[in-house]
A and B are shown apart, each in its own frame.
Chain A
Amino acid sequence: MENIVDQQEVGELYSQHHGWLRNWLRGKLGCPDTAADIAQDTFVRLMAGSRNVGFDRPRAYLTTIARNLVVDHWRRMELEKAYLAAVALRDEAEVPSEEERLLILESLMRIDAALAALPKATRKIFLLSQLDGLTYAAIATQLKMSEITVKRHMRKAFVVCLQAQ
């Protein structure tokens, strides 16, 4: 099945819809630079995508891609803020280098995106196990639930780990 979209087709879509998309995003985001970046990225994604979907309703398809990119953008902003808040509490000598910072953020983006599929309670239990190293028994006690329930949540989370890119 041919996956790559026809360059010419994308060119036409770009000239017809890029301006509209960028304005739509500007109205949503309030930041013209981010709007411009995401509008561009939307078409980049479009080029890498599949040709059978949504071309009879291009704007709906474009806004769907753009919305996902906006969600990624917000995710990155939140992770960067949380990163800065954590690093602010460290000593000068412990601040990661710029290169380390980028690697850490890349890892966080990948992991956070995968964990976003989990409901709040499952995510909390999973992090208690993996980040805080608690046993299932300890988690069960802390959250006042049975160990079987904890295991059920952990299994759900591990299914997501097995699926992650």
Chain B
Amino acid sequence: MTPNLKQATDSIIFEEAADWLVRLNSGKTTPADWDALSAWRTQSLVHERAWQNAESFLGAMRGLPADIARGALGREQSRRQVLVKLALLLAAGPVAWATYRARPWEVLQADYRTAAGEQRNVELADGSILVLNTASRVEVAFDATQRAIYLQAGEILIETASDNVSPPRPFVVRTADGEARPLGTRFTVRRYDGYSRVAVFEGAVEVTPAESKAPLRLAAGEQAGFTTTATGPVSPAVEVDASWRDGMLIARHMRLADLLAELERYRPGLLRCDPEVADLRVSGAFPVLDSERSLALLQQTFPIQIETFSRYWVRVRPRGVT
């Protein structure tokens, strides 16, 4: 098998293993299912190892005492607990935070920015959580009439809280392309070149392009792009689209070139690949804050080699090229 075909096959094996796991955990399997699995496993060492990896993990779960496992793994995390924890991870200094917590109705102007590879959590004066992804810039402008956030570059995740002043002020996120008004929600906004995109995970968001009067309402599980003049088609938003929030990029059948473009956002400089490997399909979970490890993972799985010309220029090439 040529290297390219082999690596495409490994990706397929991964996908097939996931399908087998779904099939064999339904609770309604037959001996024929197990025979079919056996046949699949014995095809190659890669097949067998994929299955064993999963079995090792699932076996560890089943080996736990049931009451302990349920209590520990199934624990509910209350929203208040999450907010308290995020507050503890604040990047702003403790004195500044205490000041605007005490007097939220005063005009609050603050700029936050992150460098490539950095993420930052900010708790806003009303208790809302703002998370900045890599290479992002926002201006927070809370005043007497509204709670406004201007996204100048990059990507943010917002979890809104109801206002702690009376009457409550509307919350709005603006980009150069228009605005997004959330209605008690959890959503991301990302600024690209010439358009913005909003993805909603809980609640609903109303998106209005800067030069249009027609708002588009997005519900949980939906996302759409918008320019200054129009909104784009609505497509599904899945929680994994915000998995950067936990530091992971989940790839499913993603082109290697597209994956590298995503990882490039989290580091200074360029990360590019040669056209021969650009269309390799990748599935898996990649740590975005540790792109070196992601590259190492890719190099393990695919016939590629990583050439580092400098810290600011990394090139991914087919293996064996000199």
Contact = CB atoms under 8 A, between A and B. Distances in A.
Interface string A64-86: 10011010001000110011011
Given A53-B290, A104-B68, A158 B18 contact: yes
> Which 5 pairs show the lowest CB-CB distances between chains A and B?
A135-B27, A119-B239, A50-B292, A86-B71, A158-B21
A15 interface: no
Interface string B232-253: 0000001110010011101010
A164 B285 CA distance: 9
A64 B311 contact: no
B14 A129 contact: no
A52 B115 contact: no
Contacts of B66: 131
Interface residues of B, number: 65
Given A82-B71, A116-B246, A162-B14, 14 more contacts: A1-B296, A29-B88, A52-B292, A60-B118, A61-B117, A86-B68, A96-B65, A104-B68, A108-B69, A111-B64, A129-B27, A131-B70, A156-B240, A159-B284
Given A1-B306, A112-B72, A127-B74, A90 B67 contact: yes
A86 B308 contact: no
Nearest to A163: B285
B25 A154 contact: yes
Nearest to A107: B60
Contacts of A60: 115, 117-118
B17 interface: yes
A49 B22 CA distance: 36
Nearest to A57: B115
A134 interface: yes
Contact of A108 (B22, B54, B64, B293): B64
Contacts of B308: 1, 52
Given A117-B248, A138-B27, A151-B22, A131 B71 contact: no
A65 to B, nearest CB: 9
Grouping DSSP codes into helix (H, G, I), strand (E, B) and loop, the A interface class, with mixed when no group exceeds half, is: helix
Nearest to B285: A163
Interface residues of A, number: 65
Contact of B22 (A86, A114, A154): A154
A155 B194 CA distance: 36
Contacts of A96: 65
Given A119-B239, A130-B62, A138-B27, A155 B19 contact: yes
Among A1, A114, A118, A124, chain B packs the most CB atoms within 10 A around the CB of A1
B117 A53 contact: yes
Contacts of A119: 238-240
A124 B284 CA distance: 21
A32 interface: no
Contacts of B311: 52
A145 interface: no
Contact of B57 (A124, A132, A164): A164
Nearest to A66: B89
Interface in B103-125: 115, 117-119
7 contacts: A1-B306, A61-B117, A107-B64, A135-B26, A136-B28, A151-B22, A156-B240
Contacts of A87: 68
B293 A110 contact: no
Contacts of B119: 64
Contacts of B57: 111, 114, 161, 164
Interface string B32-52: 000000000000000000100
